[in-house]
């Protein structure tokens, strides 16, 4: 089954809004604001940001009821359609509680990791979910992938690992060659001597939170990457649960995202209360009281920095559109396809991070992205395999224009459900 026009629309929405969502979260992490103790502190509130994400998902529920109201006002057909197989079935809303809890846990862990590492590394290691999703889909959903899809997954993971290793190597080199942090002179408009191909104006660097060299310790980067990587097992579980329930009950995408957002926001909001009394020390509790989370301090910082509040609101709005598109892709295509499309965001995030000075260019990263793109082409059966098929057919190497691979969807697995 080939892609339809709506599939390309959903895929585009996932990439655009997903990219904006990650960048807005990292932008908020890099900004500073007045804290409750009167000092200027970085905004480091991953659990509060996760609450904002679920609030954005709850907005999808309101959009669902509005669309349903408008649909009821449209003229009805005189006779109902004979085939009602696509009509939604009655379901218990609590079927979305397990995926919502998975989403809540994974998102919180990932946002903690994002505060320790770079935005591009955050997105790279999220690509590891392709492995777990593919395995879980075969085990629990009975899906069978063609050989070229496995080749694509292998190449995608190889590309992500290449770029991730480069981050650790380049960071170690940066720490050894830069004993003192590089600061920006607000009164100077000259270029920064850090080897960049292009240097934004200092005012833009300050706006995007790129002042200084953003040096992080090797331990922070490794820990952040490890947290993000391990959280992908939970994300893969969520994707498989969503695919199984959506295909079974045919739940509208907006309604499904809305229910997950409702359960996630409610649960995490309640958990913020005990989190504000759990002392974790200054290493992980980057707030005046060094608690696991301090929601009051987070809201206080948002109220005293308009740009920070803008970034936080951007996270809420973008995640609403991103999750709607993502769950639509899961419903129309598959959970593994959603994960591959989600990984494409890495490219745009990496390019933006370099442009605004969040990180430096490295040739090994470019090689990693080339491997990543080739893997996606293999998995989605575009460009590479069709090109090989065309060349083989023109050369007459295969009888009747046949090529030694079958472009078959996982129909057999779907029939078993």
pLDDT digits (tens, 9 = 90+) for 77-104: 555 554 555 556 678 888 888 989 999 9
Give 291's strand partners.
279
pLDDT level of residue 1 (50, 70, 90 thresholds): low
The sign of the dihedral angle between the CA atoms of 360, 366, 367, 373 is positive
Count other Cβ atoms within 10 Å, centred on residue 201: 10
Is residue 193 over pLDDT 50? no
pLDDT score of 116 more than 50: yes
Say how far apart CA 322 and CA 307 lie, in whole Å. Answer: 22
In the predicted structure, residue 205 carries a pLDDT above the cut 50: no
Tokens of 319: 């995640």
Is the pLDDT assigned to residue 182 strictly greater than 80? Answer: no
User: By CB neighbour count within 10 A (0-12 exposed, 13-18 middle, 19+ buried), where does 23 fall?
Assistant: buried
Residues linked to residue 40 through DSSP beta bridges, in sequence order: 34
Distance of CA 60 to the CA centre of its chain: 18
* pTM of the model as a whole: 0.72
Span 314-334, pLDDT tens digits: 999 998 888 778 777 877 777
What the block records as the tokens of 347 is 């490219």
Q: How far, in Å, CA of 201 to CA of 203, rounded? A: 5
CA max distance for the chain: 77
pLDDT tens digit string along 155-166? 878 887 887 777
| Paired tokens of 9 | 């629309």
- Banded pLDDT at 262 (limits 50, 70, 90): very high
Tokens 């899906």, residue? 143
Displacement of CA 53 from its chain's centroid (Å)? 12
Average pLDDT on 127-147 reads 79
Residue 111 makes CB contacts below 8 A (sequence gap 6+) with 25, 46, 47, 49, 50
What integer is the mean pLDDT of 222-238?
87
Comparing 6-15, 65-74, 289-298, 333-342, the range with the smallest average pLDDT is 333-342
In the structure, what pLDDT confidence band is assigned to residue 417 with cuts at 50, 70 and 90?
Answer: very low
Beta-bridge partners for 279: 291
Burial, 244: exposed, middle or buried (Cβ in 10 Å; 0-12, 13-18, 19+)? middle
């Amino acid at each position: 089954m080939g892609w339809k026009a709506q599939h390309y629309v959903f895929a585009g929405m996932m990439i655009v809004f997903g990219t904006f969502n990650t960048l807005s979260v990292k932008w908020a992490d890099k900004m500073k604001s007045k804290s409750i103790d009167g000092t200027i502190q970085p905004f480091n509130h991953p659990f509060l940001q996760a609450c904002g994400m679920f609030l954005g998902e709850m907005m999808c529920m309101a959009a669902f009821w509005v669309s349903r109201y408008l649909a009821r006002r449209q003229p009805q057909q005189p006779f109902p359609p004979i085939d009602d197989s696509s009509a939604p079935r009655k379901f218990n809303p609590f079927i979305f509680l397990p995926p919502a809890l998975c989403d809540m846990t994974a998102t919180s862990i990932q946002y903690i990791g994002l505060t320790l590492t770079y935005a591009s590394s955050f997105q790279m290691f999220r690509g590891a979910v392709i492995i777990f999703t593919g395995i879980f889909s075969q085990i629990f959903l009975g899906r069978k992938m063609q050989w070229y899809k496995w080749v694509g997954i292998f190449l995608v993971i190889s590309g992500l690992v290449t770029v991730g290793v480069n981050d650790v190597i380049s960071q170690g080199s940066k720490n050894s060659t830069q004993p003192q942090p590089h600061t920006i002179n607000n009164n100077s408009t000259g270029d920064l001597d850090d080897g960049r191909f292009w240097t934004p104006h200092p005012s833009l660097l300050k706006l995007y939170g790129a002042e200084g060299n953003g040096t992080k310790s090797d331990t922070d980067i490794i820990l952040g990457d490890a947290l993000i990587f391990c959280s992908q097992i939970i994300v893969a579980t969520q994707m498989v649960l969503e695919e199984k329930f959506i295909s079974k009950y045919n739940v509208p995408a907006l309604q499904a995202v809305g229910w997950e957002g409702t359960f996630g926001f409610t649960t995490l909001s309640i958990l913020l209360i005990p989190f504000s009394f759990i002392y974790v020390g200054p290493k992980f509790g980057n707030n005046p009281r060094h608690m696991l989370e301090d929601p009051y301090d987070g809201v206080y910082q948002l109220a005293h920095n308009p740009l920070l509040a803008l970034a936080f609101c951007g996270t809420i709005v973008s995640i609403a559109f991103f999750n709607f598109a993502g769950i639509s892709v899961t419903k129309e295509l598959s959970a593994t396809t959603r994960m591959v499309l989600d990984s494409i965001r890495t490219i745009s995030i990496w390019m933006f991070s370099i442009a605004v000075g969040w990180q430096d260019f490295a040739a090994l990263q470019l090689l990693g992205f080339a491997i990543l793109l080739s893997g996606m082409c293999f998995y989605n059966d575009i460009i590479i395999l069709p090109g090989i098929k065309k060349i083989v057919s023109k050369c007459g190497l295969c009888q009747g224009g046949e090529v030694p691979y079958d472009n078959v969807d996982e129909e057999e697995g779907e029939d078993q459900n």
